[in-house]
Amino acid sequence: MINIKDVAERAGVSSSTVSRVLTNKPHVNVSSKVRRKVTQAVEELNYQPNHSAQRLRMAGTSKLIGLVISGMLNTHFNAIIHGVSDLAYTNRMNIFLCNAVGDVARERYYMSHIRAERAAGIIVNPQDYDNDGPYLDELRQAGIAVVLLDTTVKGYTFDSVTVDNRQAAYQAVEHLIQLGHQRIGIVSGRQTATTAHERLEGYKDALRNADLAISNDLIKDGQFKEEMAYRATLDFIDMPTPPTALFVINEPMTLGALKALRERHIRIPQDIAIVGFDDTPWSAHIYPPLTTIAQPTYALGREAVRLLMRRIDEPDAAHLTVTLPTDLIIRDSCGAKKGAF
């Protein structure tokens, strides 16, 4: 592996000079003759500066960012990664992808890795509202910019990018109520995630607002997982008086609910209406086309990077929360297009 000294030797200059032409700063002058010799040597040797050495030398100018997400099997996060990677590329920042897979210990491991790498920043979808705060604050203390994605964290304020989950859920459930549903079940997620908590609150708001009772029988925890939602849905079906509509608060769980309904030959929306959360390219093609809350996923990813760049530039700027709009996409699974119940 060739280094700056090799280049210097080949070009017949000092390594200081090589560095100068390569870093190419506005106010340092190098004669064009020397510049040419160096450039040529770099090309001939196919020299590539060692980023580790550069980072070591220039502490605090890292071009690395950590992206910690809680799962890959979810179009929501996939699209966020897409948005993050695009704007990161524009800024020539490089991404450590950290897939926590819903495992808090693994999330912690990744956080410490990001610190050990002296990344400039971290974009994270915290999994543990109650306990992640101190860990993230530690990163911040260590000079790493922190931006939260989707969820927030107890006791600490960070820049964050999210949607109004409560309002979005309210809108979804209100829509079902307007279609005449009175018994609406919700397949919710881990309440340690603020997204799940807020979506559940939005569900309750909508019921309250319509003077409908809030019944614990109609609230089931699918833990954001397909399999758990599958079982929760079966439980709903097996109730003496099953709900006439279901609100399922993420994509994998919507798949689980659909699976359960299919197996039991429950017709959608005639027997049970469904509204999901998160739109995917497939949503329009399923049977029946899925009514769902769409999040601006790609934009969420981009905004996260934007906030991060700002925080890196101005570590002491006021904290910002960017809230992006959601969209209730009405298709057929809610029954709206076939008339109210």
Token pair for residue 28? 């340092």
| Count of residues in contact with its own copies, rule CB under 8 A | 53
- Residue 262 is a binding residue for its own copies (CB under 8 A): yes
Q: How far is the CB of 60 from DNA (least distance, A)?
A: 9
Q: In the window 67-86, what residues touch its own copies (CB under 8 A)?
A: 67, 72-73, 78-79, 81-82, 85-86
CA distance 169 to 178: 14
- Residue 44 is a binding residue for its own copies (CB under 8 A): no
By C-beta, is 45 or 210 nearer to DNA? 45
By C-beta, is 94 or 171 nearer to DNA? 94
- Residue 258 is a binding residue for its own copies (CB under 8 A): yes
By C-beta, is 29 or 141 nearer to DNA? 29
Q: In the window 268-287, what residues touch its own copies (CB under 8 A)?
A: 280-282, 284-287
145's CB contacts (< 8 A; 6+ apart) are 120, 121, 122, 159, 308, 311, 312, 315
Inter-residue contact 309 to 212 (CB < 8 Å):
no
CA distance 252 to 74: 7
Token pair for residue 69? 């997400």
- CB < 8 Å & 24+ apart, contacts of 48-52: 49/4, 49/22, 50/3
Q: Pick from 174, 188, 162: which is nearest to 254 by CA?
A: 188
**Cα→Cα distances 279→43, 78, 163, 239, 296, Å:** 48, 12, 14, 29, 9
Q: How far is the CB of 148 from its own copies (least distance, A)?
A: 19
Torsion of CA 170, 153, 252, 106, to 10 degrees: 180
Q: How far is the CB of 45 from DNA (least distance, A)?
A: 10
Chain CA centroid to CA 55, Å: 27
Q: How far is the CB of 213 from DNA (least distance, A)?
A: 58
Q: How far is the CB of 80 from its own copies (least distance, A)?
A: 9
- Residue 329 is a binding residue for its own copies (CB under 8 A): no
CA distance 326 to 330: 13
Q: What is the DSSP letter of 102?
A: T
Phi then psi dihedrals of residue 121, to 5 deg: -165, 170
- Residue 118 is a binding residue for its own copies (CB under 8 A): yes
Per DSSP, what are the bridge partners of residue 329? Answer: 292
- Residue 175 is a binding residue for its own copies (CB under 8 A): no
Phi then psi dihedrals of residue 188, to 5 deg: -100, -175
Q: In the window 201-240, what residues touch its own copies (CB under 8 A)?
A: 226
* Helix (H) / strand (E) containing 233: helix 226-237
Q: Pick from 211, 172, 209, 210: which is nearest to 188 by CA?
A: 172
By C-beta, is 30 or 330 nearer to DNA? 30
Binding residue (CB under 8 A) for its own copies from 117, 201, 227, 327? 117
Name the amino acid, one letter, at 54.
Answer: Q
Name the amino acid, one letter, at 82.
Answer: H
By C-beta, is 49 or 242 nearer to its own copies? 49
- Residue 296 is a binding residue for its own copies (CB under 8 A): no
Q: How far is the CB of 316 from its own copies (least distance, A)?
A: 17
Binding residue (CB under 8 A) for its own copies from 1, 213, 318, 340? 1
Interface residues with DNA (CB under 7 A) are 1, 3-5, 13-20, 22-23, 25, 28-31, 33-35, 47-50, 53-54, 56-59
What is the contact surface with its own copies in residues (CB under 8 A)?
1, 46, 48-53, 55-56, 59, 67, 72-73, 78-79, 81-82, 85-86, 89, 94-99, 101, 106, 109, 112-113, 115-118, 138, 142-143, 226, 252, 255, 258-259, 262, 280-282, 284-288
